[in-house]
Chain A
Amino acid sequence: MTDMLTREELLRRAGFGAAMLSIPGLAAACGGGGGGGSASSGTQKLADTLRFSNWPLYIDVNEKTKTHPTLDAFTKKTGVKVDYVEDINSNSEYFGKIQGPLSRGQSIHKDLIVLTDNERFLALMIDRGWVEELDKDAIPNISNLVDVQKHPGFDPDRKYSLPWQSGMTGIAYNPKVTKPILSIDQLFEDKSLKGQMTALNGFGDTLGLVMLANGDDPSKITDASFKSAIDRVKEASDSGQIRQFTGNDYAGPLSKGDLKACIAWSGDIVQLLPDNPDLKWVIPKDGGIIWTDNMIIPKGGDVFTASTYMNYAYTPAVAAKIAAYIQYVTPVKGTKEVLAKTDPALAGNELIFPTDATLEKVHLIDPEALNNQSYAEQWAAVLGA
């Protein structure tokens, strides 16, 4: 379930990444991999620059030259420069910023942005019509999308969005200070954890896990299932069992031993392992949550250029390079096979390439419930506001 990456392994992988990128033929291979990437859709013209906003450390980086190899290869192949900015650090805050111009019909001067589906904002963008439709003719590689991602609730026909990477929400614990914590029941009830465990401040994550522990289905939330989940969380918070509700700032206290266990995202733990090889991340006994960061084209963005990039990113070879660096779950079929040839250990990492058995245990959150104002207000009350 959890793969202990020693520091050597991590460095070795980084080395592999760099080595792979220095192979000259690779850029050509990328070009040959996907079909019809460039201006094959007849009269469409590519823009000069692709303006791409993403989360930090969410794309491959060549540590020595500080460039993004897959982006450079894209530029080389299509002639489109990429203006890549890592200015998204929170769905709510980014949305709060862009809703100003978008609600006035103004462009935010971006062609591609990435938002997560476990908060209301992605669905809101689509509902409000603040996104452009994808140019599917320019994305033949869309056939590489894994089946489980083909019909999400917020975009059933994938008209507006394509997954970038996925991650899982589960339980992280520090075996040096606690026995293994393998279920939400244990997390909330074990008194030895009191005041030394945290939950996530997104209700898609925390309430999703609690609903599973209650035996309810988080992808179809009802008032009753919501109430029993939120009551349970509130009780744990009031009693002091839950120390705080955090974003990803659990990482520090967990590494230092202030926290014995917490609700955590899989990718963060992968990043903590080099310095804390004992940390463990598990999918709770009753199931975990899987969430996906999606690429969307905000209104006013250049649809053809953005779609071309999406097609490029869905080439297995390119997806492999990205996945190797950021080590979250890739939505592109065939990536595992490409990586297996160059880095079998990475290809075998359950956290990055979950087996079907693992995928059975993780669930999506109900997107409509995320946008339910009453639920949002009740959750805000639990968080203290």
Chain B
Amino acid sequence: MKFVRRHLLTAYAIFAFAYLLVPIAVVIMFSFNDPGGRYNFTWQGFTLDQWKNWDGVPALKDAMILSLEIALLASVVATVLGTLIALALVRYGFRGRGATNLLIFVPMATPEVVLAAALLTLFLNVTVFTLGFGTILIAHIMFCISYVVVTVKARLIGFDRSLEEAAKDLGATPFETFRLVTLPLIMPGIFGGAMLAFALSIDDFVISNFNSGTTVTFPLYIFGAAQRGIPVEVNVIAMILFGVTVAAMGFVTWQQARAERMASVRPEQEVAPSQALPAGASA
């Protein structure tokens, strides 16, 4: 019975992952398609041509690189700004808490098209902004902040403050406490928020469309190309991107594992405070 129960969860999780990734499987499959025309709807035959020639559509590659750059920058900045706000909201009482909470929720509730148009109006009226990379980045950071705040808050609520107290009792300054105790403990929340911000930014179409001037991001390219036929290279590039990201993440994890193994080889070394914390708190 325990066997079934234990593996029921795993089975469910695998099913959920499969559901999540089944369109990805279709995208991968069609990246090997060999269509005669410009559309990539029906399976015609297997070919590796597009994989060999993956950067064959120059505008596509540029658009993807641009989207990546914007997403990386936007998620980093939004995560920093959002984490700070989350810390303030959960840890401190201050005047204007309610208003701040409201300010965090309203951007998520605002329909994209009117937000995009209103933002464009701002950029047009304040001529220091020229539409392009900068304006897209600004807009992305703006709408990602809320999502980071809510995600990090979920981690901060219920955070065991006694660990911080213990650190302070042991002589750590507030900064050190934050850096060595708090931050590692809330890191999963920060990472989760960053992931969400990255996903939002790389997939954004409406707001980017309005505020991009003539710059073309990946979703903009796709929506445009869809009018006349999405080239197969799109599937290839998307898969490369996904594969590279997962591989990068996997590599980092593997390196961490190695580092921990190496650290454990020399037990007489002083253990850093974060590793002295109980097993339930993982970073």
Q: Which residues of A contact B (CB under 8 A)?
A: 7, 10-11, 51, 53, 55-58, 66, 83, 85-90, 93, 96-97, 100-101, 104, 106, 109, 247-249, 251-252, 255-256, 271-276
Contact = CB atoms under 8 A, between A and B. Distances in A.
B138 interface: no
Contacts of B225: 56-57
B263 interface: no
Given A57-B38, A85-B214, 5 more contacts: A89-B226, A100-B124, A100-B210, A109-B213, A252-B39
7 contacts: A51-B214, A55-B228, A56-B225, A56-B228, A101-B124, A249-B226, A271-B228
Contacts, number: 88
B44 interface: yes
Interface in B42-63: 42, 44, 56-59
A104 B124 contact: yes
A255 B42 contact: yes
A56 B224 contact: yes
Nearest to A83: B214
B228 A272 contact: no
The interface residues of chain B, by DSSP majority, are classed as: loop
> Which residue, A85, A87, A101, has most C-beta atoms of chain B within 10 A?
A87
B37 A275 contact: yes
Contacts of B56: 66
A104 B122 CA distance: 12
Contact of A271 (B57, B213, B229): B229
A10 B121 CA distance: 46
**Interface size bucket, B side?**
20 to 34
B117 A252 contact: no
Given A97-B210, A274-B36, A275-B39, A248 B58 contact: no
A251 B41 CA distance: 8
B44 A248 contact: no
Contacts of B37: 7, 10, 271-275
A56 B231 CA distance: 11
Most buried by A among B125, B213, B216, B224: B224
A58 B38 CA distance: 13
B193 to A, nearest CB: 31
